[in-house]
Structure 1
Amino acid sequence: MSRPTKITAMHVKDIRFPTSLEKDGSDAMHDSPDYSCPYIILETDGHLQGIGSTFTAGKGSEVVCFAADTMKNRVVGRRLDDIFNNFGAYWHEITCDSQFRWIGPEKGVTHLATAAVVNALWDLWAKMEGKPLWKMLVDMEPEKLVNCLDFSYIEDVLTKDEAVAMLKKKDATKDKREAEMLKTGYPIYTTSCGWLGYSDEKITKLATEAMSQGFSRFKMKVGKDLQDDIRRAAIFRKVIGPDRIWCVDANQVWGVQDAIDWMTALAPYKPLWIEEPTSPDDILGHAAIAKALNPLGIGVATGEMCQNRVMFKQFLQANALQFCQIDACRLGGVNEVLTVILMAAKFNVPVCPHAGGVGLCELVQHYSFFDYIRCSGSLENRMTEFADHLHKEMCAPVKVRDGHYMPPQAPGFLVGIVPDVQKAYEYPDGSAWLDLFEKGLFKRDHDHEDN
């Protein structure tokens, strides 16, 4: 296969899965999500494809797809060497389009679309290099890696020279950590046992099965009813025992004082963290919650919906998070995620990526391997999220062994969806969706009949 020189076409698909039928992914804020992904395919003149995606909960996915489609003029026809030799400048170009930027800037729909396109570019680059993305990032010279990043608005916290120095400092021992990852993998926690819509019996069954598979880290959704959360916490602790790690996630539903009071009531069950306790944009609110809960041994985790590197900078400056939860698609793709990982390393805050969804586990595993091997050098209080649905639909599903992600070896970012699955679940005319409409389980606008 010849090495491609330029991008010749870009295709955008709206792929959705009816996960709301079984309450998979349900939480206090999102009670019936249909896990979905705007899906990008980049064609090249060398017959090599770049695949990228972002993530939504169903409705609105078509808006992100439209936004991604409007970016074609800055992608199609571009020479790959021009992009990859100065990727930081290219990323700045596509995020600072003077008109497109207005409906962001660097946040929301435009940034979700940016992530899908940028992730596809990195997938293409890694395939060209014949390496999985994590390995390409681990092997890249510090100066070349830093040249891929945009330090706009964050140089008061992290400069390019500092980033290069940080990478060089860890490089002397990175081979040892890489060998460790290849042997034992990266620790993960499971959310699949603790969705808010699950019955007590299902929670018990799933948590028991997870322990038999080697999991020792768990997360439970909270936030609808305090007494119900206390009851479910007691069930969880009884099943997993007193020593395994247990976290909780409120998905933004509380005010600041509500979060403090609620988590004080749950403190006897020893949660490691409370995730997204309030509005994801309220940096000072998170700081106040952290100040109140840290003496109880409860940290604050957030970042799943943190809009950009600038907000992460402020969260870190304000001591508003103890666990940095980067998302592979909420930020503007690989370039921006790496800047946040480097900032977190400087502040000595563990990176614990958010995952689940469609392809998010497949994406974030690369960041965890990179973070440990190249940046942090520590596994203390570090773990990455895992949810066990929507993996068989992937061309290269994550490999899990004894509660750890094992490093993938195939070239690329590895977020491709099986072609037959793409065809069946492309919204709204895929065969799976037509069948659901015919059965009356969904309306054409993908609302349930009983909503």
Structure 2
Amino acid sequence: MFSRDKIVEFEVQDVRYPTSKTLDGSDSVHTDPDYSVAYVTLTTDKGVSGYGITFTLGAGTDVVVKAIELLKRKVLDKSLHDIFTNYRAFYRSLTQDSQMRWLGPEKGIVHLATAAVTNAVWDLGARLANKPLWRFVVEIPVGDLVAMIDWSYLSDVISEDEIMEMLSEGEHDKEKRIKHLEERGYPAYITSVGWLGYSDEKVKRLTNEKLSEGWTAFKMKVGISQEDDMRRAKLIRSLIGPDNKLMMDANQIWDVKEAITRMKQLKKYDPYWIEEPTSPDDVDGHAQISMALREHGIGVATGEMCQNRVMFKQFLKLHAMQFCQIDSCRTGGVSEVIAIMVLARKFGVPVVPHAGGVGLCELVRHYSMIDYVLVSGKIDDRMCEYAEHLHEHFTDQAEIKNARYVLPYRPGFSCEMTEYAVDTFRFPDGTYWNN
């Protein structure tokens, strides 16, 4: 099943976009982001390339690039067959290196670096199998897939036997779910209308545009001031009406008590969830906020900056999240994301991936398809984030139709950037930055 092509070339580049000029992506904490990626290219002895990214906000991308370069020795001269038939050991060679581990472990810069490398490995594997990543994954025999994933530190909440049983349950009607995706796509919500740096006039224009395109779920940023939050929430709710969903995202700016107070003030605008209301590491704080807001019908979403599967385990076990926001680059790539999806199913929490940024929409649509087809079997209670930025810089762009992600069909993990994108926005020597 897995190609015997050997990886003989490894390249990593720093690619940055000046999104701070337009305030695309701006929120209460990240006020001037320059959407960026560390971009990995792996090439085999047969001349086939695979691509991987990890997402950053500009400054510091060079540090991630350096960390990726330190992982190069773990990948070069290995065949795809050897990597995938013993993937758990390969993954641990990246995350459990006796010296590099000290810089994590399994978090921060070294985990961002791990994601870029493993994303490229999975992209290459899927390309060589001539399948889109989601299909490449769901067609791996369940026993083989379970053996590939690192389940360490999770045995107190789930066993590998239970995981095997869970993932085997849906095998008989897997093709039915794929057909549903082919016909209807995957539900999405849009964030592009509500960046914090946008004027009220721009928010109004964009919201009306998206309503006319058929969007029914919208997200806005909150957290700068009570007055601004109330005004902007009132504006968007008045435009989208009472039947459409409105999500709010504080991007970690509040303390626990402040988050509860502010959301009780905003409840009159019927928020579906509050995202990252406090520190992304504060499991107990999220649990307190979840409990306080439950009676008001407001859920808590988090995971965009959750470090690893062990942190997700705690959030889920302590009922500190009602929506599980996996990210395609924050944790260790495909195998760890699947582990987190399994945990979310175990605790009955819907997976609603974080996207936007550069290339994240391209990647996470694969994860939503994997969750539905392989893990949860559910689609009606979940959505995948979408933002309208920088898709044109990828060769396999995320496609939206009727406010739903269209099923990806091109081989790979959709990580490949166009030559124009790399030549223009590579930092610091791309033509844009040179000029």
2:342 aligns with 342
- 5+ residue gaps, structure 1, are 436-451
* Larger CA deviation: 179-188 vs 154-163: 154-163
- Write out aligned runs for 1:192-341 (5 A): 192-341=192-341
The aligned counterpart of 2:86 is: 86
TM norm structure 2: 0.98
Size of the alignment, in residue pairs?
434
Q: How does 1:37-48 map to 2 (within 5 A)?
A: 37-48=37-48
1:146 paired with 2:163, answer no
Q: Shift in Å at residue 77 of structure 1?
A: 1.0
Match of 1:168 in 2: 168
Q: Deviations over 1:206-249 (max 9, x none)?
A: 11111111211100000000111001000001111111011000
Aligned equivalents of 1:269, 1:411: Cα separation in 2? 43
**Superposed displacement of residue 407, structure 1:** 0.7
| Identical aligned residues as a percent | 51
Cα RMSD, aligned residues only: 1.0
1:170 partner amino acid? G
With the length of structure 1 as denominator, give the TM-score of the two structures. Answer: 0.95
Residues 111-134 of structure 1, C-alpha deviation per residue, up to 9 Å, x if partnerless?
000000000000011011110001
1:60 partner amino acid:
G
* Deviation sequence 1:17-51 (CA, Å, 0-9, x none): 00000000000000000000000000110111110
- Contact (CA 8 Å) 2:393, 2:420: kept in 1 or not? no
Distance 1:402 1:421 in 2: 28
Task: State the alpha-carbon separation in 2 of the partners of residues 133 and 157 from structure 1.
Answer: 28
1:402 Cα shift? 0.6
Retained in 2: the 8 A contact 1:4–1:44? no
Deviation, 1:321, is 0.1
Deviations 1:75-133 (A, max 9, x none): 11112211110111210121000000001100000000000000000001101111000
CA distance in 2, matches of 1:157, 1:6: 38
Give the SS at the match of 1:173.
helix
Q: Quote the offset at 1:4 in angstroms.
A: 5.3
1:30 aligns with 2:30: yes
Partners of 1:115 and 1:384 in 2: CA distance: 20
Contact 1:214 1:401 in 2 (8 A): no
User: In structure 2, what is the Cα distance between the partners aligned to 1:433 and 1:402?
Assistant: 37
- Please give the alpha-carbon distance, in whole angstroms, between the structure 1 residues aligned to 2:433 and 2:93: 37
Match of 1:116 in 2: 116
| Structure 1 range deviating more: 86-95 or 290-299 | 86-95
Once residues 132 and 38 of structure 1 are traced to their aligned partners in structure 2, the CA distance between those partners, rounded to angstroms, is 22
Work out the CA distance in 1 between the residues paired with 2:376 and 2:78: 35
Q: What is the aligned partner in structure 1 of residue 418 from structure 2?
A: 418
CA offset at residue 303 of structure 1?
Answer: 0.1
Cα deviation for residue 172 of structure 1 reads 1.6
Q: Confirm whether residue 395 of structure 1 aligns to residue 392 of structure 2.
A: no
Give the whole-Å Cα distance in 2 for the aligned partners of 1:62 and 1:415.
19
* Distance in 1, Cα, partners of 2:5 & 2:402: 42
SS in 2 for 1:407: coil
The residue type equivalent to 1:226 in the other structure is: Q
Q: In structure 1, what residue type is equivalent to 2:112?
A: L
Contact kept, 8 Å, 1:191 with 1:219, in 2: the verdict is yes
**2:188 matched residue in structure 1:** 188
**More moved, 207-216 vs 26-35:** 207-216
Deviates more, 1:208-217 or 1:319-328: 208-217
Deviations along 1:249-273, whole A, 9 cap, x unmatched? 0000000000000000000101010
1:345 Cα deviation from its structure 2 partner:
0.9
Q: Distance in 2 between matches of 1:107 and 1:249?
A: 23
1:418 and 1:79 mapped to 2: Cα distance?
Answer: 26
Which is worse superposed, 306-315 or 83-92?
83-92
